[in-house]
Structure 1
């Protein structure tokens, strides 16, 4: 009984809370559209020289997909647009405390706002089955929900540790800034209903209005996305680095094994496969080149040189010093290799008039020094020197390229 008395008291004091009925809403609609003759073709201001301010907030629900090749960002969300319609006003006390009504969006005036940088054909926001909320003082709230496909320029330089800044631009096509001012309000992009994406991390959101010099009625929402790189590190980067190390290990195989050329060609083809995979993940963009593509290109060039050198070594292994003498620069290559492999080695060069050079090599078995003349070297010594020197040169080159390029990418990310 006390509850019923309390409800009757509320109805007396606040009739707008529970007092108005469906017939009251019909009376309001009749008053607005029949008696007042409301028209959705007229900008809702008594003075048409005044700028209509429309507050816009973007509620982002999710990042559905980011197609880097097509440079298309697909998001889901809705806009919350509010403005004052001076022709949609009434006195609540005249209609039993009716303070708000809901009307189909096409029955009232609304700004023809649409996505400016759309990937698909241009179309207006919302749908015929959506309703707008109208307050008795003329405040109108419109919340059109939509799947948005917007273009976004992709910067692939630091792939897969890259960040992408995408703009979602909304504009009122038929009006200039003198008629309509789209104001992003205080919040801009709202993330209270946002669901995380498995491939991209949303790091920052912002908004901005168009340049003051422009006459366009528009607002721009910015979304910064950071790629989650774990998948690429495990499935692409780690195998590529391991292949680069295996590429250098070609020089550990002796020519006599008969597997050197086949091994080097196999590694080269493996690097080419990964280069194709990465190329398929990136947009066909000639303005910016990915560091990852540069790294794979360098490793492919190195692998090509290793294949060519391996084939040359196989050819040299068939040569005899009697028919094909060893050139002086190859002898120097052998001496450098011997010097680097044995700290006790030293080179003694005779008088300038002498053409005979002697290399002293410390013999661990005999614990003594033995002298070897240039004529004692053969093509197997050349191959051994090439294997030793180019193994370390290739290893240093691979390590430097790997550390420098991936440090640049990771530090940027």
Structure 2
């Protein structure tokens, strides 16, 4: 943290006292910094290495009673122990520890005045907002010496301004969650499911790369928003696996029926509750021969109706011999497996909605 400020220091110098009546009513002097003694107050926790000259070369005001006022413009650079866990809504506290470099507490006794820090002339920072400034006087004793060593600590509490980060980081979360959930709302046999999931995974990877470039590597405090994106990437990857599974179920020619226990569960109240009403009607209509060839072609996307086609020849010869309506049964089985694939999508949709709510409550 870099702080530009004015430091107001008072001290009393007995060698600079005089009677104003002896000097024509002169009550104050303006003296350069090299003309009088000044306390060597330095920043103990400076991040500038060996540089200890924090103050500008401004004049001091000396009063006739020996009181000296020095208000130099100052530049302080310190290291802050950042906790970015709540980034970009984080609050940070940085410490400025000032004390004499060569004098102990018996020679230079640092005190804090009763006035609070003045922010009237402060230039607003575009990224940080100052919430408060706490001051504390510390007296330390060391094993080497009997005299006290005094320093003053200023604790500056900052809050990050977040409107820009809302647009850059938080708003895309809504789009990523929506794209992930839309994957499960596409028809079970739509190949666009894999394309949509792959694009979503690419977007999440780009954001994680953006975070790696923007945020410092923190050993103890991983930002919650980064954890959210990492978990989202894993969930998107799992959704791609589920999409491939659903496509395999819905587009493969199955030679065995859906187990009756499973089908009865899906065509019952449970299936209606999870939004399978349309697929249940299609399966029932196909079972009763109420679906025309054109609609069947649109749902299957491969020529199951063609009795001389490739899929027809995939039916065992024994079944074709003993079951003249084998193709009709294949159509019925196809719609039953479409129903199973749609059920997998709907259950995954409900599960992902729950997981995203939990992640949002925990990490945002």
Q: TM-score range by the shorter chain?
A: 0.7 to 0.9
Of 140, 158, 163, 2:91 maps to 163
- Is the aligned partner of 1:273 residue 2:206? yes
Q: 2:235 aligns with which of 292, 302, 325?
A: 302
- Residue 322 of structure 2 is matched in structure 1 by none
**Displaced runs of 4 or more, over 6 A:** 361-366
Distance apart, 1:210 and its partner CA: 2.2
Q: Distance in 2 between matches of 1:205 and 1:119?
A: 20
User: SS of the residue aligned with 1:341?
Assistant: helix
Q: Whole-Å Cα distance in 2 between the matches of residues 102 and 331 of structure 1?
A: 98
What is the deviation of 1:327? Answer: 8.6
* Contact 2:190-2:247 within 8 A present in 1 as well: no
User: What CA distance in whole angstroms lies between the structure 2 residues aligned with 1:268 and 1:251?
Assistant: 15
Match of residue 335 from structure 1: 265
Distance 1:332 1:166 in 2: 62
Who is 1:243 aligned against? 176
The match for 1:401 is 359
Distance in 2 of aligned mates of 1:275 and 1:301: 12
Deviation at 1:201, TM superposition (A): 1.6
Q: Does the 8 Å CA contact 1:168/1:220 hold for their aligned counterparts?
A: yes
Change (3 A) 1:398 1:137: same
Instruction: Return the alpha-carbon distance in structure 2 between the equivalents of residues 213 and 402 of structure 1.
Output: 49
Question: 1:313 aligns to what?
Answer: 246
* Per-residue deviation, 1:306: 0.6
Quick check: 2:141–2:149 contact (8 Å CA) kept in 1?
no
Give the CA RMSD over aligned residues. Answer: 3.1
Separation in structure 2 between the aligned mates of residue 289 and residue 90 of structure 1, nearest angstrom: 62
Number of the residue aligned with 1:118: 46
Q: Does 1:390 align with 2:348?
A: yes
**TM-fit CA distance, 1:364:** 12
The TM-score with structure 1 as length reference comes to 0.67
Pairwise mapping of residues 29-68 of structure 1 onto structure 2 (< 5 A)? Answer: none
- Partners of 1:185 and 1:216 lie apart in 2 by 19
> Which one has the bigger strand percentage?
1
Structure 1 residue 321 displacement after superposition: 2.5
CA gap 1:284/1:400 in 2 versus in 1, 3 angstroms: same
Contact 2:139 2:151 in 1 (8 A): no
TM-score by length of 2: 0.76
Instruction: Give yes or no for contact 1:119–1:150 (8 Å, CA) kept in 2.
Output: yes
